């Protein structure tokens, strides 16, 4: 026990902390400019100097740790005089342009000078000059204001792991610069903006648009982009969000954000937002009133239901909608329409993977806290680049790597280059062979315990694959594979981060089985990457053809009955269709009506042409969205929805954490998705009777065994993790229906001269929503096709040359970007930009086990286009 006295207050501490921290615990604030709690102590600014009895000199409290019996004074005359001197030095060169600087009002330096500072400096020399830099679309640098605290540089290298900026030059000419001074060309996380104590690095997006004291209210909410669900604070002025900043004290992101979360919010104020309901009349969509739209939809649904039955109607839910929206949606589909045809994009990869792992390990096995990644003793990444899909989760991996925790990546994960000790990049679609070899070797070194659980028996039946067999299949030298096994076998409780690329395959189930076996052998924790903010919520709320809210299977009579009794209605027992089956059904004519809530299926499902063809055959297509999309163009009725910032509700992130989404601004035209559905339901004769989202959550808390008694207040109070207040559903594990993979078939090599097309997950975009963000478009405005250097050489293509990529489904023309780490016979194309998405030319095969599209083996023909090449940077 350590006893310290700070300013006469005595505190007792279990373990030594810095004086700065100890003072904070007692409520004493010590000023500092270079210290930041996301960063290691630096001791550069000398403003946190304090007087310690029995020590002759003043000490920096950020680097000095407390010892037993220490007596500290933080505001003595000596200390105040020293701080004043430090500030006078800083003001030698700091531009005194506070009236013009946007930081004024929230500037640490300004506040400190007001408190301690000299009213006038004694230096008569001129201040250094350095023009403000507008070279970058997002970040403005004004280095005349920089005080060289190096917070931004340390943030960039130690936390973000990008090392995109550094202190260049020396003495009074030291500035923070991205390399060669121009654009940042970095990950644009903006965390440097966040830690800058002065106005040296600022966001260009709201420059000179407001001052900190103009902010009328702040709303603590959740980010709308990926499945991590970072806590953010929206600052609002005049019913518009002027800035999004991270919550430094709470939330799993602890003050960090990615480019999408920090800058991408501006889509909500895009002038292209849908403003009025529209009905198709005489072949074109025409504005109408809400009531007419509700009447029309209800009438059509009634007709189709009477004529073809409820099973001819299907619904697509959305991972961008809240739990409340999705709950009401599935209730509407099941109880009002009478159909189990409910699914979403989550059904393509996230839901089947989760279901598969839960079948083996029990419910909630993928619900692991993200913060645990950097605290594990090893990390295994496969199926996508977490730093692009879930950037803040990716930072956990980088943080672990900086602590020398071994990281192994399988596949092309450019964001982890330099962080992964073992980096295995197999040929396209040969991961199964590699995984099997890793498993075989692991089991040789660490045999499973002999108690023989049912799953261990299954693992025992997996055919072994030797290192040589794997080498010839996936093209990775056996030595490299065995080095990876060396690293894996040293891990006792690693994190396995699994992305969708490995799941959306014809051999997806085999991959998952091998990963489950590997997780068992390594005693690993599974994390599923999730591209949308509420994919987990879609599953929990029963937006799956075979699941009721709370993870209860529809097929079990007693669950269906209990659920029906609660509402005094009947839950249909017929097996529902998956999203891909719905599209096929629409194409073949079995599905007559499709109700789409917040999803752009004509763009986000592979083979756009087929999907559009299917949509055009529908008798009724209702789309609720916030923008005109490829899908709304086929709709009979389009209903404007409220955006993420304009509604209340909850999101459940990939860890199973429920978070409260708060209404930040009023919607100009759109209604909450649940409200639209409730209105349609009312016209159809079922009054859902919700006043607000609280009523819906209260109902969820009664219906779902996983959400017993949960309230927004519970979510606000912090940790609201799986299984919330409810009961965990640890049923007896009965592992049936797992097909044993045929290893022989999986060892076959991809045909040599063929080139395959895959989806590139771009850090700066998120499905088709982000294209409406001015900020994100200014960072990444054009889609590129990424190819490896050998393929580029074969086509004699240089970076920036245009290539055409053609498949059976069509062709697109894109500028090429060459990345030497990519495997030879694959081209990666992002699926974000209208008319130029990967899914325009990518076909699919049905994965029978998941009833979802498999995207492997999609051949493409690449050709160089002769035209003046545009300058393209990655």
Partner 1 sequence: MLSEKEKNEIETELKQYEHKRAACVEALKIMQHSRGWVSDDGIHDLAGILGMTPDELDGVATFYSLIFRKPVGRHVILICNTISCWVMGYNQVLRSLNERLGIGLGDTSADGRFTLLPVPCLGACDQAPAMMIDNELYGDLTPEKMDEILGKYSWERD
Q: Which residues bind partner 1 (CB under 8 A)?
A: 153, 157, 162-170, 177-180, 418
If the CB atoms of residues 161 and 315 are measured against partner 1, the closer one turns out to be 161
Q: Give the CA distances from residue 225 to residues 89, 261, 307, 534, 831, in Å, rounded to whole numbers and listed in that order.
A: 43, 6, 40, 9, 15
3-state secondary structure 357-372: HHHHHCCCCCCCCCCH
Taking the complex as a whole, how short is the minimal distance between the CB of residue 65 and partner 1, in angstroms?
27
H-helix or E-strand spanning residue 678: helix 673-683
Query: Cβ contacts of residue 270 below 8 Å, gap of 6+?
Result: 627, 772, 773, 774
What is the side-by-side order of every strand in the sheet holding 59-60?
9-13, 2-6, 71-73, 49-52, 59-60
If the CB atoms of residues 166 and 453 are measured against partner 1, the closer one turns out to be 166
If the CB atoms of residues 41 and 162 are measured against partner 1, the closer one turns out to be 162
Phi, psi for residue 434 in degrees, rounded to 5: -65, -45
Taking the complex as a whole, how short is the minimal distance between the CB of residue 872 and partner 1, in angstroms?
17
If the CB atoms of residues 365 and 872 are measured against partner 1, the closer one turns out to be 872
If the CB atoms of residues 169 and 873 are measured against partner 1, the closer one turns out to be 169
Token pair belonging to 95: 């531009």
If the CB atoms of residues 167 and 574 are measured against partner 1, the closer one turns out to be 167
10 Å CB burial of residue 181 (0-12, 13-18, 19+) is exposed
If the CB atoms of residues 54 and 170 are measured against partner 1, the closer one turns out to be 170
Q: Which residues pair with 651 in a beta bridge?
A: 659
Taking the complex as a whole, how short is the minimal distance between the CB of residue 162 and partner 1, in angstroms?
8
10 Å CB burial of residue 297 (0-12, 13-18, 19+) is buried
Give the three-state DSSP class for 342. strand
Taking the complex as a whole, how short is the minimal distance between the CB of residue 598 and partner 1, in angstroms?
39
Alpha carbon distance 840, 629 (integer Å): 14
If the CB atoms of residues 30 and 165 are measured against partner 1, the closer one turns out to be 165
Taking the complex as a whole, how short is the minimal distance between the CB of residue 47 and partner 1, in angstroms?
24
If the CB atoms of residues 181 and 718 are measured against partner 1, the closer one turns out to be 181
Taking the complex as a whole, how short is the minimal distance between the CB of residue 195 and partner 1, in angstroms?
17
Q: Are strands 755-760 and 201-203 parallel, antiparallel or unpaired?
A: unpaired
Taking the complex as a whole, how short is the minimal distance between the CB of residue 397 and partner 1, in angstroms?
18
Token pair belonging to 218: 């702040």
Q: Note the Cα 489 to chain centre separation in Å.
A: 30
Alpha carbon distance 520, 462 (integer Å): 13
Taking the complex as a whole, how short is the minimal distance between the CB of residue 178 and partner 1, in angstroms?
6
Query: Cβ contacts of residue 450 below 8 Å, gap of 6+?
Result: none
User: Beta-carbon neighbour count of residue 834 at 10 Å?
Assistant: 12
If the CB atoms of residues 178 and 524 are measured against partner 1, the closer one turns out to be 178
Taking the complex as a whole, how short is the minimal distance between the CB of residue 264 and partner 1, in angstroms?
25
Q: Give the CA distances from residue 397 to residues 67, 118, 390, 407, in Å, rounded to whole numbers and listed in that order.
A: 34, 45, 11, 8
Dihedral angle of Cα 268, 659, 367, 698, to the nearest 10 degrees: -120
If the CB atoms of residues 556 and 798 are measured against partner 1, the closer one turns out to be 798
Cβ–Cβ under 8 Å, residues 382 and 412: no
Taking the complex as a whole, how short is the minimal distance between the CB of residue 174 and partner 1, in angstroms?
9
If the CB atoms of residues 159 and 582 are measured against partner 1, the closer one turns out to be 159
If the CB atoms of residues 165 and 738 are measured against partner 1, the closer one turns out to be 165
If the CB atoms of residues 180 and 282 are measured against partner 1, the closer one turns out to be 180
Taking the complex as a whole, how short is the minimal distance between the CB of residue 157 and partner 1, in angstroms?
7
If the CB atoms of residues 163 and 289 are measured against partner 1, the closer one turns out to be 163
If the CB atoms of residues 168 and 669 are measured against partner 1, the closer one turns out to be 168
Alpha carbon distance 595, 313 (integer Å): 8
Q: Which residues pair with 20 in a beta bridge?
A: none
Buried b (16+ CB within 10 A) or exposed e, 672-704: bbbbbbbbbbebbebebebeebeebbebbbebb
H-helix or E-strand spanning residue 745: helix 743-746
Taking the complex as a whole, how short is the minimal distance between the CB of residue 180 and partner 1, in angstroms?
5
Smallest CA-to-CA distance from 846 within 855, 833, 837, 857 is with 855
Cis bond before residue 318 (omega within 30° of 0): no
Alpha carbon distance 22, 130 (integer Å): 39
Taking the complex as a whole, how short is the minimal distance between the CB of residue 560 and partner 1, in angstroms?
57
Taking the complex as a whole, how short is the minimal distance between the CB of residue 69 and partner 1, in angstroms?
40
Taking the complex as a whole, how short is the minimal distance between the CB of residue 345 and partner 1, in angstroms?
36
Q: Give the CA distances from residue 417 to residues 532, 638, 733, in Å, rounded to whole numbers and listed in that order.
A: 24, 44, 39
Q: Can you say whether the dihedral through the CA atoms of 50, 55, 57, 59 is positive or negative? A: negative
Phi, psi for residue 672 in degrees, rounded to 5: -60, 145
If the CB atoms of residues 149 and 522 are measured against partner 1, the closer one turns out to be 149
If the CB atoms of residues 162 and 317 are measured against partner 1, the closer one turns out to be 162
Q: What angle do CA 212, 213, 215 make, to 5 degrees?
A: 75
Taking the complex as a whole, how short is the minimal distance between the CB of residue 163 and partner 1, in angstroms?
4
Buried b (16+ CB within 10 A) or exposed e, 256-267: bbbbbbbbbbbb
Taking the complex as a whole, how short is the minimal distance between the CB of residue 231 and partner 1, in angstroms?
30
Taking the complex as a whole, how short is the minimal distance between the CB of residue 382 and partner 1, in angstroms?
24
- How does DSSP classify residue 447? P
């Amino acid at each position: 026990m350590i006893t310290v006295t700070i300013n006469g207050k005595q505190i007792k501490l279990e373990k030594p902390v810095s004086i700065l921290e100890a003072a904070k615990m007692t409520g004493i604030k010590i000023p500092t400019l270079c210290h930041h709690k996301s960063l290691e102590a630096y001791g550069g600014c000398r403003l946190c100097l304090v007087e310690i009895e029995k020590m002759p000199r003043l000490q920096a409290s950020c680097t000095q740790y407390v010892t037993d019996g220490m007596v500290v004074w933080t505001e003595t005359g000596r200390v105040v005089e020293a701080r004043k001197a430090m500030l006078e030095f800083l003001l030698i060169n700091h531009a005194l342009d506070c009236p013009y600087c946007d930081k004024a009002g929230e500037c640490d330096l300004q506040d400190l000078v007001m408190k301690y500072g000299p009213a006038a400096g004694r230096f008569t020399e001129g201040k250094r000059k350095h023009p403000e830099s507008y070279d970058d679309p997002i970040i403005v640098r004004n280095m005349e204001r920089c005080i060289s605290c190096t917070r931004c540089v340390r943030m960039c290298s130690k936390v973000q792991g990008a090392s995109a900026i550094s202190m260049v030059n020396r003495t009074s000419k030291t500035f923070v610069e991205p390399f060669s001074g121009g654009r940042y060309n970095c990950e644009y996380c903006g965390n440097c903006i966040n830690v800058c104590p002065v106005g040296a690095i600022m966001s260009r997006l709201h420059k000179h648009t407001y001052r900190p004291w103009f902010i009328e209210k702040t709303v603590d909410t959740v980010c709308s982009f990926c499945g991590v669900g970072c806590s953010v604070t929206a600052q609002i002025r005049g019913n518009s969000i002027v800035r999004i900043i991270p919550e430094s004290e709470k939330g799993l992101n602890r003050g960090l954000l990615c480019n999408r979360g920090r800058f991408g919010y501006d889509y909500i104020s895009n002038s292209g937002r849908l403003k009025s309901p529209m009905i198709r009349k005489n072949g074109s969509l025409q504005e109408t009133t809400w009531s007419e739209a509700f009447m029309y939809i209800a009438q059509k649904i009634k007709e189709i239901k009477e004529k073809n039955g409820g099973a001819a109607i299907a619904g697509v839910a959305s991972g961008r909608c809240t739990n409340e929206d999705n709950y009401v949606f599935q209730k509407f589909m099941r109880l009002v329409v009478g159909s189990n045809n409910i699914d979403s994009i989550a059904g393509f990869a996230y839901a089947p993977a989760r279901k598969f792992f839960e079948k083996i390990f029990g419910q909630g096995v993928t619900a692991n806290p993200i913060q645990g990644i950097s605290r594990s003793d090893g990390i295994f990444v496969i199926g996508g680049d977490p730093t692009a899909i879930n950037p803040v989760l990716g930072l956990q991996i980088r943080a672990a790597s900086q602590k020398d925790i071994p990281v192994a990546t399988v596949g092309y994960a450019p964001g982890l280059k330099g962080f992964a000790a073992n980096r295995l990049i197999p040929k396209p679609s040969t991961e199964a062979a590699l995984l099997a070899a890793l498993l075989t070797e692991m089991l040789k070194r660490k045999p499973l315990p002999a108690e023989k659980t049912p799953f261990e028996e299954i693992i025992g039946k997996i055919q072994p694959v030797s290192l040589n067999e794997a080498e010839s299949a996936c093209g990775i030298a056996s030595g490299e594979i065995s080095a990876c096994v060396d690293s894996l076998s040293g891990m006792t409780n690693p994190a396995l981060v699994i992305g969708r690329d490995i799941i959306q395959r014809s051999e997806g189930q085999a991959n998952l089985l091998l990963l489950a076996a590997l997780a068992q052998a390594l005693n690993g924790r599974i994390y599923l990457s999730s591209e949308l903010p509420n994919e987990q919520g879609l599953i929990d709320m029963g937006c799956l053809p075979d699941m009721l809210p709370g993870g209860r299977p529809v097929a079990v009579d007693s669950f269906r009955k209990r659920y029906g009794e609660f509402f005094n209605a009947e839950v249909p027992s017929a097996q529902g269709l998956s999203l891909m089956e719905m599209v096929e059904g629409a194409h073949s004519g079995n599905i007559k009506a499709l109700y789409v809530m917040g999803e752009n299926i004509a763009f986000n499902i592979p083979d756009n042409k087929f999907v559009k063809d299917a949509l055009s055959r529908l008798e009724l297509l209702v789309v609720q969205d916030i923008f005109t999309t490829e899908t709304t163009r086929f709709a009979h009725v389009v209903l404007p929805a409220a955006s993420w910032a304009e509604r209340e509700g909850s999101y459940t992130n990939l860890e199973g954490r429920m978070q409260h989404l708060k209404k930040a601004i009023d919607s100009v035209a759109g209604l909450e998705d649940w409200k639209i559905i409730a209105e349609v339901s009312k016209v159809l004769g079922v009054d859902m009777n919700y006043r607000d989202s609280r009523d819906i959550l209260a109902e969820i808390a009664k219906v779902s065994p996983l959400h017993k008694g949960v309230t927004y207040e519970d979510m606000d109070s912090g940790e609201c993790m799986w299984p919330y207040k409810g009961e965990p559903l640890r049923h007896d594990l009965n592992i049936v229906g797992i097909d044993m993979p045929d290893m022989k078939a999986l060892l076959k090599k991809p045909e040599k001269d063929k080139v395959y097309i895959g989806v590139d997950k771009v850090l700066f975009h998120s499905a088709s929503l982000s294209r409406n963000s001015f900020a994100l478009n200014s960072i990444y405005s054009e889609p590129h096709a990424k190819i490896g250097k050998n393929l580029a050489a074969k086509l004699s293509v240089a970076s920036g040359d245009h290539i055409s990529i053609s498949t059976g489904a069509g062709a697109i023309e894109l500028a090429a970007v060459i990345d030497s780490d990519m495997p030879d016979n694959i081209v990666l194309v992002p699926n974000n930009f209208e008319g130029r998405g990967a899914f325009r030319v990518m076909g699919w095969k049905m994965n029978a086990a998941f009833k979802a599209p498999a995207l492997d083996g999609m051949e493409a023909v690449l050709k160089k286009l002769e035209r003046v090449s545009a300058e393209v940077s990655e």
